[in-house]
Amino acid sequence: MKPYIRVLVVDDSALMRKLLAQILESDAGIEVVGTASNGEFALRKIAELEPDVVTLDLEMPGLNGIGVLKQIMRKHTTRVVVVSSFSTAGASITLKALALGAVDFVAKPIDFVTRMPQVTGELVAKIKVAAESQAVLAPLPGSRPRVDKPTGVPGRPAAKIVAIGISTGGPYALEYVLSQLPGDFPGALVVVQHMPEGFTGLFARRLDDACAIQVKEAQAGDLLLAGRALICPGNRHIRVKRLPLGDVVTLSDEERVNGHRPSVDVLFRSVAKSFGRESVALLMTGMGDDGAEGMGDVKEAGGTTLTQSEDSCVVYGMPKSAVERGYSQRTVGLKEIPHILELLAAPERGRSAAAGSPRLPK
């Protein structure tokens, strides 16, 4: 094992390069092996120094961060953590970088210097996770032909509720899974993706453009309908609730759970309580253990519990926690998840039809 995680800092701002290097070298397990002020210089440095992780600014003159990232994904095994401006434009380009293969991102607050202690912990933790992560899969072949979206708001009641918890490595994996579902998918989906506010709305719109099902950022009172996925807003908790006039989601600003808001545990527990056997809980790639105990509640309530397989996760943290606690009934590879969800979300036959498809976890 290497004694240090070797990091290259790429940013067009001399001050930012200095601050980022200072932050990273405050940790004894990280060594900053170099810095680069533009995209062309960054690619030369990567080839020369072979760093484990690159911190990448996206908005640079000349070859920008997206261009650099594409080259890294084609030619190198280096992991990338994006350091992005906390703005609408910054969020949009950051989501594109995550879809192309960046492991994670840290948003640069406007008052970066005064918030350095907060940024330090987040950046160091994400660098360490990125260094141990698996490579993001290349675009998967055999995608489903696009189906025209239903016009207007979907109005069909859902046969099942599919709750998904996902974190590091999630934007790529979630886009793949949702884009493979047909427009007439019989279940309603509710998703907690660990992502700050200001990013989730753009993320939902990006997914909606790529999917036959409808995808939107959740609002309080949104109905749970077949063929629709609701993405929890950043910095809110989301729950599901059964009402006489229809099943809905609710949002709250309660305290963080497991250090997260939104928390997957909050969603899963409400799904178990309200829908029991009519629910499916899926934990996908991400660090930590958020969602594991909530998955246990879904299993106890008679719902179906799934985890993404280790070999297809960028970070096998959240799924591993559920597997180790005995809460996951099936482990499923990323490519197989859409098909399994279709079977499980179907009325009546869903549970029995899918029972033999995924392999049992060890």
Angle between helices 116-132 and 14-25 (to 10 degrees): 70
Do residues 133 and 103 touch, judged by C-beta distance below 8 A?
A: yes
CA distance 94 to 100: 10
Is 147 a member of any domain?
no
82 and 32 in one domain?
yes
CATH code at position 178: 3.40.50.180
Query: Would you state the structure tokens that stand for residue 42, as one six-digit string?
Result: 């960054």
167 and 127 in one domain?
no
Distance of CA 82 to the CA centre of its chain: 15
97 and 11 in one domain?
yes
CA angle 264, 270, 273 (to 5 degrees): 140
295-319 pLDDT, tens digit per residue, is: 999 999 999 999 999 999 999 999 9
Is 141 a member of any domain?
no
pLDDT at 233 over 80: yes
pLDDT at 192 over 60: yes
103 and 196 in one domain?
no
pLDDT-based confidence at residue 91 (cuts at 50, 70, 90): confident
The whole-chain average pLDDT of the chain stands at: 88
CA distance 118 to 313: 27
List, edge to edge, every strand of the sheet that includes 330-332.
Answer: 214-217, 228-231, 188-193, 161-166, 279-283, 304-308, 330-332
Number of structural domains found in the chain? 2
316-341 pLDDT, tens digit per residue, is: 999 999 999 999 999 999 999 999 99
The H-assigned helical ranges of the chain are 14-25, 39-49, 65-75, 88-100, 116-132, 170-179, 200-210, 264-275, 292-300, 318-324, 337-345, 350-354
pTM over 0.95: no
242-294 pLDDT, tens digit per residue, is: 998 899 999 999 999 989 999 999 999 999 999 999 999 999 999 999 999 99
pLDDT at 18 over 80: yes
Domain, as residue range, for 349: 161-354
126 and 228 in one domain?
no
202 and 125 in one domain?
no
Is 151 a member of any domain?
no
Pairing of strands 237-241, 248-252: antiparallel
What pLDDT shows up at residue 151? 58
Catalytic positions = 167, 194, 290
Residue showing tokens 């808001």: 261
68 and 20 in one domain?
yes
Q: Give which of 43, 77, 55 is closest to 8, Cα–Cα.
A: 55
- CB burial class (10 A; 0-12, 13-18, 19+) of residue 219? exposed
Is 263 a member of any domain?
yes
CATH code at position 53: 3.40.50.2300
The H-assigned helical ranges of 133-278 are 170-179, 200-210, 264-275
166 and 128 in one domain?
no
Please say which residue of 132, 151, 178 terminates a domain. Answer: 132
Is 361 a member of any domain?
no
